[in-house]
Structure 1
Amino acid sequence: MRLYTFDDYRLGAQADDGRLADITDLVSADIAPRDRMTALITHWDRLASQVRGAVRSPSGPALFDVTVRAPQPRPRTLLAAPVNYLRHQAEMGGDGGVYADADIKTIASYAGFVKASSSITGPDGAIEIPFPDRRVDHEAEVGVVIGRRASRVPRERALDHVFGYVPLLDITIRGEEDRSYRKSFDTFTPIGPAIVTADEIPDPADIAFRLSVNGQERQKSTTRHLIYDIPRLIELYSEAMTLEPGDIIATGTPEGVGPISPGDQVVLTVEGVGELTMPVVERP
């Protein structure tokens, strides 16, 4: 199932004919608009059958008639896996790399970092470049959306806690500051256009994805090449902190990372999940 947030943060589920079933009324009217998706995920076990019923007889708008926003605009926690592909490690510290000749450690050393959830934007927005004199890079990733509370979860049960998957861009300013600062600027975590529920993904250990800039392919890989796979990431992070429904884990980026500038168009395609297109602009 494909779940959207649209217009004034209403909730929609996509039917086979491309229309959206408006399922906003399934969550409490007291919920803040940006928290509706979290509420839906939290109560999914109770609401899923009603959502499926709504999809079978949709009465909402066509997808092209609405403003599609970030499908999960306000997760409580947004976690990211640093240097989780070996070839990305090599390109960062190798000849001509951003940090040439540096000792680039992998996720085995760094474990993870937190991004500000306010950095999330959706297909209705743009990637904003804050400083004209700093290099800003694209990083193509798969986002994992947590579906139920996870605390000290062993890897063999980790996928039971996954609600779904979403295309995710981890935009990064290069420099000496801490990752959490350089990656948390507003608009630096585009996601969308939809969350695809976990039952639609036959093998999360082999989700293929690719990224292009202005039509030129730059990144192409699969979750099969992760150093820490998705179950291991959930095991690792839930050992340190309790993950809640709606939280997002960015799984890491492969080789091919490169700079973006105002005027560029970035397209991230995740097989079976969706295609996210984002323009790049100067920060107002």
Structure 2
Amino acid sequence: MKICRFNFDRIGLVQDAMVLDVTDRFNLQPAWPQPQGDWVVSQVPGLLADLAQATPRNCRTLSLADIRLESPVANPGKIVGAPINYHAHIEEANQDQEINHGHTYTTLERYGLFLKAGSSLIGVSDVIEPRFPDRRTDHEVELAVVIGKTARMVTKEAALDYVLGYAVGLDMTVRGQEWPGFRKSVDTYAVLGPWIVTSDEVPDPNALDLELRVNGGQRQRSNTSRLIMNVQRLIEYASSFYTLHPGDVIMTGTPEGVGPVKPGDLIEASVQSIGSIEVRVASQFAQPR
């Protein structure tokens, strides 16, 4: 099942070239204070059987080509990042002064995970607004894991039971000496889409090809089998430090080939079994508002 968010907070199921509007099956008026996590995502596990009955006969139907796709998660409580989770990316980071700034990267456990601000999140119909003309902004394609139910101190053996599904993620990054959670939390620097593919359609998240192109030229290509910490281990590791709530997103790390983008560039990214996204870098650097 492919679950999308579209046209300013409508909820849909993607079926081939169609989108079935299933918004009315969700409770969109949570009590205050709202439970932690994303309110809509928290309802999905209990609605899967009902959503499976959606057809063009009982839902409003739209063309996928005609809708505005937004981030499939509206309000993640946390966007968790894994900074160096492919060996080849560690090697290139240690060879590039603009990435390492004098640090020598070794293991993910030494540096731990980091958090990206929820305010950095956009969907594929938005544009990335680069900051700081005098600094690099780099692309990083990643498999994104969307948590479906509350997870605290889970084992890697049980970890996938807490996954709602997967999406394509872009962890955009300003290069510099500041901590990753600061440099990676710039507005528009977390891209998620085009939809959530539920976990039943991705039996092994650790065997997926991923690729990124800029203006048609290939920059990154790898497979999640090369993750240092695989998806289950990342969930175990993250949940040992903090509780994961429905709608929390784990960016699993990027492979080698990261590089700068500039205003006007077109980024194309794909993850096997999930889909492809296209997102444009704005034609000028971000302006005051």
Return the TM-score normalized by structure 2.
0.92
How do residues 139-154 of structure 1 correspond to structure 2 at under 5 angstroms?
A: 139-154=140-155
Are 1:155 and 1:235, in contact at CA under 8 Å, matched by a contact in 2? yes
Assess, with a 3 A threshold, how the Cα gap between structure 1 residues 154 and 29 changes in structure 2: closer, same or farther.
closer
Which structure 1 residue ranges, 5 or more long, are not aligned? none
Render the CA deviation track for 1:75-121: whole Å, top value 9, x for unaligned: 01111111011110110112666337631133121120010011010
Hey, what's the Cα distance between the residues in 2 that align with 1:76 and 1:96? 33
Are 2:28 and 2:40, in contact at CA under 8 Å, matched by a contact in 1? no
Are 1:128 and 1:187, in contact at CA under 8 Å, matched by a contact in 2? yes
What corresponds to 1:3 in structure 2?
3
Hey, what's the Cα distance between the residues in 2 that align with 1:226 and 1:30? 39
Assess, with a 3 A threshold, how the Cα gap between structure 1 residues 121 and 138 changes in structure 2: closer, same or farther.
same
Which structure 2 residue ranges, 5 or more long, are not aligned? none
Higher helix share: 1
Hey, what's the Cα distance between the residues in 2 that align with 1:31 and 1:217? 44
Deviation at 1:59, TM superposition (A): 2.8
Corresponding residue SS for 1:105: coil
Aligned AA for 2:162? H
Aligned AA for 1:272? S
Deviation at 1:73, TM superposition (A): 2.2
Work out whether 1:65 is the aligned partner of 2:66: yes
Hey, what's the Cα distance between the residues in 2 that align with 1:183 and 1:76? 16
Query: Aligned residue pairs: how many?
Result: 280
What corresponds to 2:277 in structure 1?
276
What corresponds to 2:186 in structure 1?
185
Hey, what's the Cα distance between the residues in 2 that align with 1:177 and 1:25? 44
* Percent of aligned pairs sharing the same letter: 40
Work out whether 1:19 is the aligned partner of 2:18: yes
Assess, with a 3 A threshold, how the Cα gap between structure 1 residues 100 and 79 changes in structure 2: closer, same or farther.
closer
Are 2:80 and 2:116, in contact at CA under 8 Å, matched by a contact in 1? yes
Hey, what's the Cα distance between the residues in 1 that align with 2:163 and 2:96? 38
Corresponding residue SS for 1:45: helix
Runs of 4+ residues deviating >4 angstroms: none
Deviation at 1:176, TM superposition (A): 0.7
Hey, what's the Cα distance between the residues in 2 that align with 1:187 and 1:40? 22
Aligned AA for 2:77? R
What corresponds to 2:29 in structure 1?
30
Return the TM-score normalized by structure 1.
0.94
Deviation at 1:74, TM superposition (A): 1.4
- With 74-83 and 98-107 compared, the bigger mean Cα shift is at 98-107
Are 1:78 and 1:115, in contact at CA under 8 Å, matched by a contact in 2? yes
What corresponds to 2:80 in structure 1?
79
Are 1:92 and 1:100, in contact at CA under 8 Å, matched by a contact in 2? no
